[in-house]
Amino acid sequence: MTAPGKGFFKSRALDSLEDCLRAFASEERLDKHDAFFCAKCAAHGSATKTMRVHRFPRCLALHIKRFKAHPSAPTTKLTDAVSFPLTDLSLSHIASDACVTPEHLLRYDLYAVSNHTGSLSSGHYTAACKLQTADGQAWFRFDDAAVSRISPKSIPAQDVYMLFYVQRAELELAPTSVFV
């Protein structure tokens, strides 16, 4: 049998956050170099491994893999664009069969993004965050001392490093007077 998990990672680019999550949750075959050790049999053998979430958090921090190790060359940075939903990220497909989180809480909205530009040896971090203003919720970009109002669609998909989501039912943001 082929290993869908490994095949998925090898054969195609992960263009969207949904693709990344599907790959994360896909079945992986443990064999040869990473064989599973069964304590009962006291022996190594092949097995399949699948990641599932049993209890979902109120705030979900997703970390995009932005570096790649090579056997005989320096680690490189991955700059693939990874698209991501601003609202209604559904995670029901990665819930375990015995998931204790109710179905209606498996939907998330984005509230902040951490971006990285540059290389592994030198780079720059910026952030984009959704805040409550006098005229409703708005997105702001934080770049050192510079803060500016932005459209969340302008967040560069190739720089996205960490994505912060909150359960839809928890989305009411506390008012803040800092940037109004």
CB of 49 to Zn ion, least distance (A): 15
Q: CB-wise, 37 or 179, nearer to Zn ion?
A: 37
CB of 32 to Zn ion, least distance (A): 17
Q: CB-wise, 34 or 88, nearer to Zn ion?
A: 34
Judged by CB under 5 A, how many residues of this single chain contact Zn ion? 3
CB of 41 to Zn ion, least distance (A): 3
Please calculate the CA angle 6-116-130 and round it to the nearest 5 degrees: 105
Q: CB-wise, 1 or 41, nearer to Zn ion?
A: 41
Q: Does 41 bind Zn ion (CB under 5 A)?
A: yes
The secondary element (H helix, E strand) that includes residue 107 is: strand 107-118
DSSP notation for 122-157: SEEEEEEEEEEETTEEEEEEEETTEEEEE-GGGS-T
Q: Does 38 bind Zn ion (CB under 5 A)?
A: yes
User: Site residues (CB under 5 A) for Zn ion?
Assistant: 38, 40-41
